[in-house]
Amino acid sequence: MELELTSTQRTIKDTIRNYLTREIEPLVPDLEAERLIVYEPIRRMVRDLGLAGGPGQIVEAMTTSSADERLDLFIPPTVAIEISRVCAGLTLSYGASVGLAGGAILSRGTPEQKAQWGPRLMSFEQIGCWCLTEPDAGSAALRDMKTRAVRDGDHFVLNGSKTFITNAPYADVFVVYAKLRDGNADNVQAFIVERGDPGISTGPPLKKMGFRSSPTGQVFLSDCTVPADRLLGGGIKERDHVRQSLANERLGLQLISYGLMERAFDIAVRYARERQQGGQPIGEYQLVQRRLVRMYMALANARAFVYGDFIAGRRRAQSVADICAGKLYVAEMATFVAHEAIHILAGNGYMEEYVVERLARDAKLVELGGGTTEMQELTAGRWLVDHYGR
* 233 and 246, same domain (yes or no): no
Q: Are residues 248 and 172 in the same domain?
A: no
Point out the domain boundary residue: 202, 237, 272.
Answer: 237
CA distances from 150 to 60, 120, 141, 198, 302 (A): 50, 28, 19, 15, 44
Whether residue 126 contacts residue 173, with contact meaning beta carbons closer than 8 Å, is answered with yes
Same-domain pairing of 371 and 248:
yes
β-pair partners for 129: 174
Same structural domain, 18 and 49:
yes
**3-state SS track over 176-212:** EEEEEEECCEEEEEEEEEECCCCCEEECCCCCCCCCC
Residue 114 included in any domain: no
Q: How many CA atoms lie within 13 A of 311 on its CB side?
A: 12
Cβ of 9: how many Cβ atoms within 10 Å? 21
98 and 45 share one domain: yes
Residue of 65, 51, 41, 52 whose CA lies nearest to 16? 51
Measured over all CA atoms, what is the biggest interatomic distance in the chain, rounded to whole angstroms? 80
* Domain co-membership, 46 together with 86: yes
Residue 269's pLDDT is 98
- 61 lies in which domain range? 7-108
Note whether 18 and 67 are same-domain residues.
yes
- In this structure, is residue 2 part of a structural domain? no
pLDDT, residue 240, reads 64
Our count of domains for the chain comes to 3
This prediction's pTM: 0.95
Whole-number pLDDT of residue 238: 65
pLDDT tens track, the chain, 390 positions: 688 999 999 999 999 999 999 999 999 999 999 999 999 999 999 999 999 877 889 988 887 777 778 899 999 999 999 999 999 999 999 999 999 999 999 999 999 999 999 999 999 999 999 999 999 987 788 889 999 999 999 999 999 999 999 999 999 999 999 999 877 678 899 999 999 999 999 999 999 999 999 999 999 999 999 999 999 998 876 656 778 888 999 999 999 999 999 999 999 999 999 999 999 999 999 999 999 999 999 999 999 999 999 999 999 999 999 999 999 999 999 999 999 999 999 999 999 999 999 999 999 999 999 999 999 999 999 999 999 998
Whether residue 87 is found in the same domain as residue 165: no
Domain presence at residue 72: yes
CATH of the domain at 27: 1.10.540
Rounded Cα distance, 59 and 53, in Å: 8
Same domain, 77 and 134: no
Which CATH number characterizes residue 195's domain?
A: 2.40.110.10
The set of catalytic residues is 249
Is-contact 364 335, C-beta < 8 A?
yes
> Terminal CA-to-CA distance of the chain, rounded, Å?
33
Q: Quick one: which of 238, 244, 222 has its CA closest to 188? A: 238
Amino acid sitting at position 114 = K
* The pLDDT value given to residue 55: 83
- In whole angstroms, give the CA distance from residue 171 to residue 194: 8
Statement to judge: residues 248 and 282 lie in one domain: yes
Q: What is the pLDDT of residue 23?
A: 98
Cα 99 to Cα 110: distance, rounded to the nearest angstrom = 17
User: Do residues 95 and 168 share a domain?
Assistant: no
In a domain, residue 122? The reply is no
The predicted structure's pLDDT at residue 1: 65
Same domain, 35 and 93: yes
Q: Three-state SS for 54?
A: coil
Run of H or E residues at 320: helix 320-345
